[in-house]
Amino acid sequence: MHIQIQQDMSYRYEAPVNYSIQMLRLRPLGNASQKVLSWRLTVPPFANLTESRDAYGNVVQTLYIDRLHDETKLALSGEIETEDTDGVVRGTFEPFPPVFFLRQTDLTMADDTIRLLAKETGHASQGAPLELAHKLMGAVREAVDYRVGDTHAATTAAEALALGYGVCQDHTHVFISAARLAGLPARYVSGYLWDGGGGDYEASHAWAEAYIEDLGWVGFDVANRICPTGAHVRVASGLDYLETAPVRGRRRGGGEETVEVHLKVDGGASQQ
């Protein structure tokens, strides 16, 4: 599948900012299921941009501005050729053994309700790891309805499950938390999803990956109850949202901030 991505981001401040820094995890890398044909990030001419890799191998572009400014505009565009591998991940940089991803974080820390969810799903799957992951995906999606605007970046897995609603970030955190309790290494993945249309999106997407013996890492898009397909573009992975967040930053001054994001993801048949 041929995926085209365009994203415009603007950050406006009510008063001048004298210093700002943003860490961007926006650029996808190639693997067995995706080939990056082109990728371009445009930043203000007065900004400084460096590029590195984090501990997981994700591309991190650091943008910093050390002069007065009242607005920062970013624009990216890219084309990616993808292949449907039924969610099985191949060809990614793996600096850590799967057991590392049994570690819980503040965002995925389990409570009694998540423990019960993991226990019931484990019994229903009779210990088969792949079946466990699929049943867990369904159970989490049944327990957490999709609702935009009522959770935020700091909402924990336990809080989202107690609320009974959230977005893809929340579905992913609950799945990861329960999977780890059940003995399945699991991690958070950020990326893009084409839903078959051509309209604008409010945000990028997120899903989980679980490590299945004899298969390796397998993706589970809990929000959509599917394993990732050729419509998914994988960008970054880590223990939770904070380690894969598309944009994180700090600034000095500026007062109130207004953020606008316009994202367009389009897809079609692969080019020959």
Per-residue pLDDT of the chain (272 residues), as tens digits, is 999 999 999 999 999 999 999 999 999 999 999 999 999 999 999 999 999 999 999 999 999 999 999 999 999 999 999 999 999 999 999 999 999 999 999 999 999 999 999 999 988 888 799 999 999 999 999 999 999 989 999 999 999 999 999 999 999 999 999 999 999 999 999 999 998 877 788 789 999 999 999 999 999 999 999 999 999 999 999 999 999 999 999 999 888 999 999 999 998 776 54
Q: What is the pLDDT of residue 98?
A: 98
What pTM value is reported for the model? 0.95
Alpha-carbon Rg for the chain in angstroms? 19
Phi and psi, residue 199, nearest 5°: -90, -175
Give the pLDDT score at 126. 82
The domains of the chain, with CATH numbers, are 2-83+247-268 (2.60.40.2250), 98-243 (3.10.620.30)
Distance CA 141, CA 164 (A): 10
**Cα 59 to Cα 53: distance, rounded to the nearest angstrom:** 5
pLDDT score recorded for residue 270: 65
In sequence order, the 6+-apart residues with CB closer than 8 A to the CB of 141 are 171, 222, 223, 225
